[in-house]
Structure 1
């Protein structure tokens, strides 16, 4: 099959394209600034609607997996028009081209479409985003729902893994403790952290089986950043005294955050071959790839 993956140089895209290639798929890796390591590099600027049309019409893919987005929550809040153009307008245009091609479209969304008042959200729970990031991603979801081809919308939460450019949470914790840096970590905000290699396998499960609808694909453990950091420190025998619990209302954020945007993954558990992993297993798999010297 022929895949087009947007955002292929990012944390999730890099792993996804690698997994697809290993399974024998032809993958066009769309990027804007950073050339991807895997797949067939394909330049694509989401702010250029004509370029989106030209690329997709030329490639005629069987599957489009649209990962690319402006995910910086604070930047989305300070530059709402840019967030709209990338997260909503570009998605609407991709849907338009998907309708012309007749291929399968998978759209990656976020737990931030919810307001955090409930937690452990099901796929059919009512979205009510608190910030521009969540609002523009929700509008992207609505656009995908109007796709006349088969489509899937995947919401995930707090992804972590390996990336050459982007440092994710576990490594940030490890490196700062090693440097004896005090870290303020929120204890009253809850998500379901997601190990990227687990996420990409679940995404492939959805796309290869043409599963239609909404899917919550995240880790299966509801946890705060502070508790997650303590778990990391415990596993590596690092000094937890550098981890300081703080409340959300102490943070000087421009954008509001949901206090509990954790996702319920029972649907994924019931229908996917690849199951959402609990945080302990995800963290063990993540840490196992490093040599002991990293932590000395």
Structure 2
């Protein structure tokens, strides 16, 4: 029986990964969560290295997927100690425990390890993060490489997927402002949307397919190690995303493009990730953005 532990199973990506892996009937799945543990999950604070060691030694997984992280750039910028605890120290602790167990480890990283000036970025491109989030995730990549020789970093860009609240994804977090800007809304006010930074929204159920395929390779004794990348292939600014959300919601939104960066935390201009390593292995799935966002909205409709 192939046993997989998913760390951070209650989050945006973790839920999608669990949903995909649960369909593998000959696999055993162990889930951990901290803030929202469910009846089928183990409560685990990955900042507690001793608790991490006890968990891995007790469960003895064949593979571990780290879907837990501090991924909000503004939070990382204002609380770098928290970012380091979750994105670096915890990865090191899990990787060390995985190495002792002989378990393959998959850790999720980000396109923000790059400065966004020379896309597309291949897996061996030199990282140059420009904010605390990107620096913490790059340090997490290095912590994994230093702690285990049976590990893989999977870099991903902007994620969206089935949500439990609008703010859970930077894509769906735009919905309240879009709705408030609608001409039919009382006191409607145009919504300013960034039209400078280019992003590649990536659907979490598609990422979950990639994770499952990577796990299948490990189970066959063909583990992918080092650095891998996966990305959606539709470039969009936040303004573009907002327009497509408004279309999906059938809202006559008043949107104004902002062509210069305004975020207090610096963001890269275009960190397009090259996915050719996984594509060459026959991996991956890409759901068109308009199809995917309608699936998300159908499960979590706007209530106004």
Same fold (TM over 0.5): yes
Q: What is residue 217 of structure 2 aligned with on the other side?
A: 209
The TM-score with structure 1 as length reference comes to 0.89
- Looking at structure 2, the residues matched to 279 and 15 of structure 1 have their Cα atoms a distance apart, in angstroms, of 16
1:93 to 1:290, Cα distance in 2 relative to 1, 3 A: closer
Aligned to 1:244, which of 256, 278, 283? 256
- Looking at structure 2, the residues matched to 290 and 6 of structure 1 have their Cα atoms a distance apart, in angstroms, of 24
Deviates more, 1:220-229 or 1:272-281: 272-281
**Does structure 1 residue 182 correspond to structure 2 residue 190?**
yes
- Looking at structure 2, the residues matched to 172 and 92 of structure 1 have their Cα atoms a distance apart, in angstroms, of 31
Deviates more, 1:133-142 or 1:145-154: 145-154
- Looking at structure 1, the residues matched to 303 and 50 of structure 2 have their Cα atoms a distance apart, in angstroms, of 48
Deviation at 1:269, TM superposition (A): 2.6
Deviation at 1:169, TM superposition (A): 4.5
Q: What is residue 30 of structure 1 aligned with on the other side?
A: 32
CA RMSD of superposed structures (Å): 2.3
Deviates more, 1:59-68 or 1:138-147: 138-147
Conserved in 1, the CA contact under 8 Å of 2:9 and 2:18?
Answer: yes
Deviation at 1:49, TM superposition (A): 1.0
Deviation at 1:286, TM superposition (A): 4.0
Conserved in 1, the CA contact under 8 Å of 2:229 and 2:274?
Answer: yes
- Looking at structure 2, the residues matched to 136 and 208 of structure 1 have their Cα atoms a distance apart, in angstroms, of 29
- Looking at structure 1, the residues matched to 156 and 290 of structure 2 have their Cα atoms a distance apart, in angstroms, of 18
**Does structure 1 residue 72 correspond to structure 2 residue 85?**
no
Equivalent residue runs for 1:247-262 within 5 Å: 247-251=259-263, 253=264, 255-262=265-272
Q: What is residue 137 of structure 1 aligned with on the other side?
A: 137
Conserved in 1, the CA contact under 8 Å of 2:161 and 2:204?
Answer: yes
**Does structure 1 residue 49 correspond to structure 2 residue 49?**
yes
Q: What is residue 6 of structure 2 aligned with on the other side?
A: 5
Aligned to 1:195, which of 175, 192, 203? 203
Matched residues, number: 289
Deviation at 1:149, TM superposition (A): 4.2
- Looking at structure 1, the residues matched to 107 and 158 of structure 2 have their Cα atoms a distance apart, in angstroms, of 17
The TM-score with structure 2 as length reference comes to 0.87
Superposed CA offset, 1:31-65 (max 9, x none): 1111147xx31111122111111111111101100
Aligned to 2:242, which of 194, 211, 229? 229
